[in-house]
Amino acid sequence: MAKLPSNKTIKDLAELLSDTGLTEIEIETGDMRIKVARQGTAVSAVVPAPAPVAPAPEAAAEAAPAPTDHPGGVKSPMVGTAYLAPEPGAANFVKVGDTVNEGQTILIVEAMKTMNPIGAPKSGKVTQIFISNEQPVEFDEVLMIIE
């Protein structure tokens, strides 16, 4: 059984939320995941990390580590949640093999309850997608490759 985090750890994370203006922080260490979220004035939640699940064979290519220095890499301009489709149940903006035009919306990154459309930085063919729908993303993380 995993050791619960100290109150100081949770307080430090809650303070970090206030200092940065973020609404939630999630960290994972070993078999424990700690999520501290601010909703109104509440700060909460410690949950055990789920067991790792092997990706489906067809998703394995999408789960490969993203090259950080690829010239066609499309990087996240912010921390948030990536959406590959304009709304639940809709088709994705793009899929591997699609040809896109510069400026065409290829995904959305939600940050602080604001939906931010991300346009293709150049025209070309989508050769790899490294994220899944509704996946948290970090600033400067490579999300897909357009060649």
Element (H, E) at 11: helix 7-20
- What count of other Cβ atoms lies within 10 Å of the Cβ of residue 11? 12
Q: What is the largest CA-CA distance in the chain?
A: 51
As a whole number of angstroms, the distance between CA 109 and CA 114 comes to 8
Q: Are residues 93 and 120 in the same domain?
A: yes
Q: Are residues 118 and 75 in the same domain?
A: yes
Q: Are residues 63 and 120 in the same domain?
A: yes
- pLDDT one digit per residue (tens) for the chain, 147 residues: 556 666 677 777 777 766 766 777 777 766 667 777 765 544 445 555 555 655 555 444 444 556 777 888 999 999 999 999 999 889 999 999 999 999 999 999 998 889 999 999 999 999 999 999 999 999 999 999 999
Q: Are residues 86 and 35 in the same domain?
A: no
Q: Are residues 36 and 78 in the same domain?
A: no
User: Domain span at residue 42?
Assistant: 7-48
* pTM confidence score: 0.55
Domain count for the chain: 2
Q: Is residue 2 part of a domain?
A: no
As a whole number of angstroms, the distance between CA 62 and CA 118 comes to 19
Q: Are residues 42 and 77 in the same domain?
A: no
